[in-house]
Amino acid sequence: MTPLEPPDPVRKIFDGRIFSVVVESITLPNGVPLQAELIRHPGSVVIIPVTETGDIVLVRQYRPAVKQWLWELPAGSLKPGEDIETAARRECHEEIGLIPEHLRQLGAFYPTPGFCDELIYVYLASSLRQPLSHETARPDEDEDIQTGTFSAGQIRTMIASGEVVDLKTVAGVALASPGLASPPASAPA
């Protein structure tokens, strides 16, 4: 497969706090020209915080784009130049108020590669502890977050029933499944 040539002109349509929107003139490998409308994103982390009892902490927050309160794994965007593991610790602290002593990267994925270059890194977080007095976190201004603790089986059931519809949460649970306890509840016959 031949790599694509760099885009000719790039027009920036929007430059926001989290992402930008551009239109790039490219020629596909088959020779077809394309005006690609793309979202440029710095990347994100999603954290699977596992308690001492093996349960997982989810956050519930209002998502204006879909006009719903959603249960999700804690997550957030990378800050410019921020180390990925540092971002995972920061987001865990900001969103659930706990700091993981141990982080293990489980993988990474592009949730919407058809129009966005956001790469989401998935981390399993364990040995969660309360922050020390000098370890402060400031939640994002646009977040109204509640937390809840669930078993892996409960979360799988919530996914199957449509109660959890957030892609990063579904993918994160799938990546972590081999190491998470409690198999999914069986469906009624």
Point out which residues pair with 49 in neighbouring strands: 125
Paired tokens of 141: 């201004």
The rounded Cα 185 to chain-centroid distance in angstroms is: 25
Cα separation of 47 and 49, whole Å? 6
Rounded distance, CA 79 to CA 43, Å? 9
Do 145 and 139 touch, CB atoms closer than 8 A? yes
Q: What whole-number distance in Å separates Cα of residue 162 and Cα of residue 102?
A: 31
Q: Does the annotation mark 101 as catalytic? A: no
Would you state the structure tokens that stand for residue 183, as one six-digit string?
A: 């198999």
Point out the catalytic residue in the list 72, 95, 101, 141. 141
- CA dist 92 and 133 (Å) reads 17
R_g over Cα of the chain: 19
Nearest to 41 by CA among 118, 110, 120: 118
CA distance 162 to 174: 15
Catalytic residue list: 141
